Structure 1
């Protein structure tokens, strides 16, 4: 078996988190006016997405059993939601950076099909299986990627609204975005209750406190982004005027909830890496930290515009820097990790 075959057999679907993180950072940089760097990340992200999509198709064809096992697992199954979120974030980049509506619409439709397939396959499988893990073993921050995937559909759908001329189609797209937004809110409130219970009342070692728990904040950030864009698009659909006060309130609520997580997550990361001196090395889960930081920047910027709170733009600008630094460190560690893996594989062969 070659190095590529070995990697494909055990390919983690969560690698699309790299697409999510790069895309969110690209959009955030674009909103802050860093257009050249934003465009460079956009083209890089397109290559990430194409390669990972190709690898996923190959794995589906040649390693079907392993893929199905992962999809129906309590631990690995949530990783597949990164495919949906990554698809929509690339579509959002196409609108923000290039105004390419045709590609964005195609990706949006594909993501909805993936959403139905992955959402109901995963939740059905973990519901009916007999050998279930305990709550402490089975639940983790990665489950909230289901929320991110759902809200990513709302974001891209809302971005498409100004480009739709047919009134009936416009209403359908807006309604779909609103439904996905509210569904994402429901999923978050349901899942975060279990995650908080696991964090507070079950034994938690510093080994288990991975950067993936930053999705606790990232899911709220993309919910804020979806709500903010729909608020700014309210004039395109008269019916939305009745829901506008509610939408403003719940969007601000989720931004506040996401902001609450940031100091706590920083403290917990210090507890892991500084106090317990956990080795800082490449981990796929680190993209679960980069994405929330970049998404918080973009969502705060859009919230400031939607609710006419200009003082929040400085906070949005401040979060670009840690997101960019973490992304750069992640890429360096990723390249080093792959080179080391390749060397070990050849040596063992």
Structure 2
């Protein structure tokens, strides 16, 4: 008696194609949330509140989607989660949460901002220790995310300290600020400088980490302006000097990386390009904030120019990301 013929395997549906595309995203996808969030912050600082709220809504929606996926992978795919948690890109979970929390706090949603900061504080040591264990020489630009995540906590802590007149939170943020600079120095020693010419986009985080550090310094100075008497004159002088120096270094990195992009163009889209937009936007936000914190109004014009450059980069990368996503889904969808 002959066996029955094997039934054909079902054709993949559009839904399964979408799920396959979503499941294939790397941990660095959180950089898209960071980039969109920092653009929202920059637009808020320059008074474009309607555009800022639109990009904030996009940031929040993307953050919720990635947070849900983070939780699902932790519960259902523990082995894959542990593998991805050891990569530098995992720290985008912390950084993206602090960027969203900082912008939410500016809206006056202090309770929500506190919840986001608490979540980031819980994730930060777990992911940081896991990532640091995998460090080696010749790392890509994502190695600087250890500094970005730490300084993100410092920024949000300083912003909340100002909103709530909480001196203890500002002092904690100051400790994180100095720790972030130590982590930057270590990351710089491990960074492969050839990435400036060869990187897929995350080489920009080398400058973005200094920009978020400058932003943290500016927010710490601003917190003291609320009458909390956080620092004495000597401490304030040191903080001002370091903050300005960090901004100068961030702008120097920006110039170097921009020249490298012209000298060694890399027009092909890569997910790491979101890690280019984030530093561009963060440099703009840092310039605007430092201008106010140290009372140098002339910096504001530069900050606005950098902001619109970041907006243009965001639009270009978003269009390329959408095209890449559609092509990926079409390749998996039934024909």
The alignment's TM-score, normalised by the length of structure 2, stands at: 0.90
> 1 CA distance for matches of 2:57 and 2:206?
28
Q: Structure 1 residue 205: deviation in Å?
A: 9.4
Question: Could you tell me which residue of structure 1 aligns to residue 115 of structure 2?
Answer: 106
C-alpha deviations, 1:228-264, integer Å up to 9, x for none?
1111212444341241111111111111111111221
Q: Is the 8 A contact 2:283 2:306 kept in 1?
A: yes
Identify the structure with bigger relative contact order (alpha carbons < 8 Å, sequence gap 6+): 2
Q: Is the 8 A contact 2:196 2:203 kept in 1?
A: no
C-alpha deviations, 1:302-333, integer Å up to 9, x for none?
11111111111110011111101110111111
> 2 CA distance for matches of 1:33 and 1:228?
19
Question: Could you tell me which residue of structure 1 aligns to residue 7 of structure 2?
Answer: none
> 2 CA distance for matches of 1:205 and 1:31?
30
Alignment of 1:186-197 (within 5 A): 186-195=182-191
Question: Could you tell me which residue of structure 1 aligns to residue 201 of structure 2?
Answer: 211
> 2 CA distance for matches of 1:331 and 1:5?
20
Q: How many residues align?
A: 319
Among 105, 111, 131, the alignment partner of 1:95 is 105
Q: Is the 8 A contact 1:209 1:272 kept in 2?
A: no
Among 239, 245, 249, the alignment partner of 2:241 is 249
Distance 1:211 1:205, change over 3 A: closer
Question: Could you tell me which residue of structure 1 aligns to residue 20 of structure 2?
Answer: 6
> 2 CA distance for matches of 1:164 and 1:38?
23
Question: Could you tell me which residue of structure 2 aligns to residue 240 of structure 1?
Answer: 231
Q: Is the 8 A contact 1:152 1:226 kept in 2?
A: yes
Which region of structure 1 is more displaced relative to structure 2, 4-13 or 303-312? 4-13
Question: Could you tell me which residue of structure 2 aligns to residue 152 of structure 1?
Answer: 152
Among 174, 181, 189, the alignment partner of 1:178 is 174
The CA RMSD measured in Å over matched residues stands at 1.9
Question: Could you tell me which residue of structure 2 aligns to residue 30 of structure 1?
Answer: 44
Q: Is the 8 A contact 2:140 2:199 kept in 1?
A: no
Q: Is the 8 A contact 2:171 2:230 kept in 1?
A: no
> 2 CA distance for matches of 1:9 and 1:342?
12
Question: Could you tell me which residue of structure 2 aligns to residue 161 of structure 1?
Answer: 161
Provide structure 1 residue ranges, at least 5 long, that are not aligned to the other structure. 128-132
Q: Structure 1 residue 122: deviation in Å?
A: 2.1
Q: Is the 8 A contact 1:20 1:86 kept in 2?
A: yes
Q: 1:261 aligns to what SS in structure 2?
A: helix
Question: Could you tell me which residue of structure 1 aligns to residue 217 of structure 2?
Answer: 227
Q: 1:240 aligns to what SS in structure 2?
A: coil
- From the CA coordinates, give the structure whose radius of gyration is larger: 2
Q: 1:238 aligns to what SS in structure 2?
A: coil
Q: Structure 1 residue 56: deviation in Å?
A: 1.5
> 2 CA distance for matches of 1:9 and 1:61?
15
Question: Could you tell me which residue of structure 1 aligns to residue 8 of structure 2?
Answer: none
> 2 CA distance for matches of 1:83 and 1:174?
23
Question: Could you tell me which residue of structure 2 aligns to residue 130 of structure 1?
Answer: none
